[in-house]
Amino acid sequence: MLNIIIFGPPGAGKGTQSGLLIEKYNLNHISTGDLFRWHTKNETPLGKKVKEIMDSGNLVSDDITIAMLKEEVEKHPDVHGFLFDGFPRTVAQAEALDTLMESMSTAIHGVIELKVSEEEVRARIAKRKSIENRVDDDEDKLNKRIEEYFNKTVHVLPYYENQGRLKTVNGIGAIEKIFEEISIVADSFEVAKS
């Protein structure tokens, strides 16, 4: 298996790069944000529980998030690998993920940080908004998510950095160029694990 985490702030282009990565490396994409959105949209008991907190742009508790992630991973025991997106966002989640991978006799082989500064993310979002010419009802929520990322989520990075599992890629530039760099990093994870 090849298991990778993609990391980056909202608006960094993580969605686009994740799509390219899962195709090239035949990975199963697990986005906790997408899973939570599915639950809220379908009004499942879990969805009802997390709706308010998601609407506010805050993070869902570790217990709930880890349980949902674990269930999703365990549904796919025979895949070639996983691309984790939006998870982990806390050190407790990172530790739980390592334990889960270990229980499957595998590991997180590396973390790709798509580096875009807070300033750049805000500039991109403002540009997108002016092009699309729409009033964004979700602006407060988006601001909150950006804040969450730069104030809280980034603190997970040293966990991986200290173990030599973190690689940073510059997230500014053409999509193809960024993906070329990401591919070099993913190839290095593949080589290192064998």
Judged by the rule CB under 6 A, the positions of this chain that interact with ligand AMP are 10, 32-33, 36, 53-54, 57-60, 65, 86-87, 89, 93, 145
Min dist. Cβ of residue 194 to ligand AMP (A):
29
Q: Which residue is nearest to ligand AMP (CB)?
A: 33
List the beta bridge partners of residue 167.
112
Q: Where in the sequence numbering do the catalytic residues fall?
A: 14, 89, 128, 134, 145
- Give every CB contact of residue 130 below 8 A, 6+ residues apart in sequence: none
Min dist. Cβ of residue 143 to ligand AMP (A):
12
Min dist. Cβ of residue 64 to ligand AMP (A):
8
How many alpha carbons lie under 13 Å from residue 151 in its C-beta half-sphere?
Answer: 8
**Under 8 Å between Cβ of 146 and 122:** yes
In this complex, which beta carbon is closest to ligand AMP, that of residue 44 or of residue 188? 44
DSSP structure string for 75-134: T-TT-SEEEEES---SHHHHHHHHHHHHHTT----EEEEEE--HHHHHHHHHHHHHHHT-
Helix (H) or strand (E) holding 64: helix 62-74
In this complex, which beta carbon is closest to ligand AMP, that of residue 17 or of residue 65? 65
Helix (H) or strand (E) holding 32: helix 32-41
- Give every CB contact of residue 86 below 8 A, 6+ residues apart in sequence: 31, 32, 33, 34
In this complex, which beta carbon is closest to ligand AMP, that of residue 12 or of residue 27? 12
Min dist. Cβ of residue 5 to ligand AMP (A):
11
In this complex, which beta carbon is closest to ligand AMP, that of residue 60 or of residue 112? 60
Write phi, then psi, for 167 (nearest 5 degrees).
-125, 135
